[in-house]
Structure 1
Amino acid sequence: MTLLPSLFGTRPRALLGVDIGSSAVKVLQLGRRGRGYGVEACAVEPMPANAVADDGQIPDPERVADVVRRAVARAGTGVRDVALAMPTTLVIDKRINLAAGLREADMEEQIRAEADQHISFPLAEVDLDFTRLGRAPGDDTSAEVLLVACRKEHVEARVVAAEIAGLHVRVVDVETYALAGASEILRDQLPDFGVGHTVAVIDLGAATLSMLVLHNGVWAYSHDQTFGGQQLTGEIARVCGVTPEEAEKIKCGEALPEAVTAEVLPRFYDDFAQQIQRAMQYYYANPGTARDAVIDVIILAGGSARIPHLAEAVTERLKLPVQPAEPFRSMPMATRVRGKQVQADGPALLVAAGLALRAFDEPD
């Protein structure tokens, strides 16, 4: 068993967030601008079909490395230290209670001794990390600890792809945690900066829908389920008689064929709204959900959030205010950055933003 010291702790001050997805690689570098942040470098490079599996596994790291290398070159940055994210579908996380007075070294030793109770894989095949969250709810004598594990082969495939591309991996995070970290730069678009509100961030990827709930700006719940934009891509390809690559371009374009607007999109809007309702039902059924934590705002993220009129369609169906994520709307941009393109890609860049923000972690 190997503990990942990069998941929680201090970071280099210049760091690229590199989000490797099944449809694209997103690269983002942020810098300090006063009390806020600015975009220093950014690029999105399409991923060839099947180079990354729907569940996030990378069968051929060299093939993915070529895409990562092109993305970093397009971003035009000299920074080579990077933060990566493991897909939530490949990660096991557990909240456990340990004695509150344990030192970090003692806590690590106890976790090593008890990890096989919480992890379903042989420990020799697993990378493991943990962080102390604070006092356990309702028990002042215990500390709540977040335990995170992933099979070594999955971590190594991502790290190897980055290293082949000439990068140095300093952080290995988890997509859900990166999404939660990026909520910091969403506050400007939330009512009352999120205070007194419960916000659901819906990250619609190619194959997975992830819901992150923020209550008073604090991560309260997360859930993943199988549903994504590739279902719409497949329908467009079928109706229009085009390849999946051509359908992907049609999907986020402004001039959609009539067959798509009249038949395909309405069905997808219905399906997507139903999937959000399903995720919300899981949230409300969760024993830890506070009675007053009723979702009143939905933010759409992920590459598929750019589907035309998606926010309006979901608003109509769910009777809740829905808007696409705008993480960079108040951020200054470096001169080499294509500002309009970064703003347009904003919903797809939330995980990369959460990774890039790891450069500004406070020391433990």
Structure 2
Amino acid sequence: MAFSLSSLFHKESKSVIGVDIGTSSVKVVQLRREQGRVVLETYGAIALGPYAGVEIGRATALPAEKLAEALKDVIREANVTTKDAAIAIPYSSSLVAIIKVPAAAESQLASVVPIEARKYIPVPINEVQLDWFVVSDQKKHTADGKLEVLLVAIHNDTTAKFRSIVSEAALLPGFFEIEVFSAVRASLDHGLAPVAVVDLGAATSKFYVVERGLIRESHIINHGGQDLTLGASRALGITVVVAEERKRKYGLSGEGTTGPGLAPLPAGQAGADLKRSLELSLSPMISELTRTISGWETRTNKSLSAVVLTGGGATLRGLHDFMQSKMTNEIRLSDPFSKTQAPAFLEAILKEAGPEFSVAVGLALRRLQEIG
């Protein structure tokens, strides 16, 4: 999928590209700044299944050269014109944790954090890139004598792999960023109340709690979009390819056909089996999500103001309403393209596709801010 807007705008300023390499697809978004506005120039996505010899929608574990091939293909198809890139690092290939250090050590964090990090990182410290950020406020750490620090670590091999991918695609990386930070930047506005962000991927989903713009908690939920496809394939006795096509087209709408080549029937007379199958597959994920939210709210004595859905899985038709019917928290869909300027006739398309491109948009937004 690709759409280029470059012919609709006169180019004056420098463009940047956000690159999100997931397990089931590669997404790119090209933005530029014009007269204080962020302009969407082009975006695109390409499925990785065919590069691995499996069905579209399936999670893959491709070598760097195959990922570079896919990245080059989507860059060409989306008519990307810039080399200035920002690259996402998968959450699964990184460590994000809140650690506590003595408040008295605040002036020596450069030496204290690497020592404390050894408790959380199962490899030698010299094999990872470390970064950290103080997240506790002055009153809190003065009261309990502890300083809360957000610890971020990426293995050197991971960085080297992604550097080789973008180099092969002839891109110039401005920075590498763990996907959680990119998704949050594109999905949320500035606010004080805690919000959960749920990134629905192909193999797994990620859960983040964001408060005052800072990530307070994060972990992986082992349920993803391919579980829905495989469940529908088994339940309906259809191939994985057909199950994925029907999932994408009909989702939880209850619409569908009775068979190949037959005319669609009204909602309620067709697609009911698909809807039922998808709901059954979603139930474990929603149950785990509900338990996770309840545990966090009980532990912190705070309430989440909303749950924001992002990632490719969030584009499933009817998902918002289904999850809202099962959960007490307000459910919202990420709308990253709302932070950009684009032609009005694309508004509905961009709103629908938006959740899948949250990470790529978030990367490009940060890169634009960096270059001024």
TM-score band w.r.t. shorter chain = 0.7 to 0.9
Structure 1 unaligned blocks of 5 or more: 1-12, 188-192
* Change in 2 beyond 3 A, CA 1:118/1:57: farther
Structure 2 unmatched runs, 5+? 1-13, 258-270
Q: 210, 214, 219: which one pairs with 2:210?
A: 214
Task: Name the residue aligned to 2:177.
Answer: 173
- Identify if the C-alpha distance between structure 1 residues 160 and 143 changes in structure 2 by more than 3 Å, giving closer, same or farther: same
The reply to whether residue 303 of structure 1 matches residue 307 of structure 2 is no
Equivalent residue runs for 1:86-105 within 5 Å: 86-94=89-97, 95-97=99-101, 99-102=105-108
Which one of 231, 245, 259 corresponds to residue 235 of structure 1? 231
| More RCO (CA 8 Å, sep 6+) | 1
Q: Indicate conservation of the 8 Å contact 1:88/1:176, yes or no.
A: yes
CA contact (8 A) 2:23 2:61 kept: no
SS across alignment from 1:15: strand
Counting matched residue pairs gives: 334
CA distance, structure 1, for counterparts of residue 333 and residue 304 of structure 2: 16
Matched, 1:345 2:341: no
Q: How does 1:122-271 map to 2 (within 5 A)?
A: 122-133=124-135, 137-139=140-142, 144-183=148-187, 186-187=188-189, 194=191, 197-215=193-211, 218-254=214-250, 255-257=255-257, 258=271, 260-271=273-284
Q: Counterparts of 1:319 and 1:113 in 2: how far apart (Å)?
A: 41
Structure 1 residue 347: deviation in Å? 0.8
The superposition leaves residues 247-297 of structure 1 with CA deviations (integer Å, 9 ceiling, x where unpaired) of 3232121354525435312313433321320221332244xx3x3x31232
- 1:307 maps to a residue whose letter is L
Residue aligning to 1:358: 366
Given that residues 51 and 66 in structure 2 are in contact (C-alpha distance below 8 angstroms), is that contact kept between their aligned partners in structure 1? no
**Identity fraction in percent:** 26
CA RMSD of aligned residues (A): 3.4
Q: Does 2:18 align with 1:17?
A: yes
Larger Rg: 2
Rounded Cα–Cα distance in structure 2 between residues aligned with 1:318 and 1:163? 44
Structure 2 distance, partners of 1:52, 1:134, is 48
Contact kept in structure 2, 1:81 and 1:168, CA below 8 Å = yes
- Counterpart of 2:281, as a letter, is F
Question: CA offsets per residue over residues 78-111 of structure 1, 9 Å max, x none?
Answer: 2112222222222123435372334xxxx54555
Of 84, 87, 91, which residue of structure 2 is paired with 1:84? 87
1:111-161, Cα deviation, whole Å (9 max, x unpaired):
556653442202343233334546564238876543322222222222212
Counterparts of 1:131 and 1:296, CA distance in 2: 24
Name the CA distance, whole Å, in 2 between partners of 1:128 and 1:58.
25
Q: Is contact 1:52–1:64 with CA below 8 Å preserved after alignment?
A: no
Per the alignment, residue 3 of structure 2 pairs with none
Which deviates the most, 239-248 or 161-170? 239-248
Structure 1 pair 69/50, CA: closer, same or farther in 2 (3 Å)?
A: closer
TM-score (norm 2): 0.77
1:22 match: secondary structure: coil
Q: Say which of 116, 122, 146 aligns to 1:120.
A: 122
Tell me if the contact between 1:40 and 1:334 (Cα under 8 Å) persists in the aligned partners: no
TM-score (norm 1): 0.78
Q: Is the 8 A contact 1:202 1:212 kept in 2?
A: yes
Residues 1:275 and 2:283 aligned together:
no
Alignment pair present for 1:41 and 2:42: yes
Task: Note closer, same or farther for the CA distance 1:16–1:295 as it changes in structure 2 (3 Å cut).
Answer: same
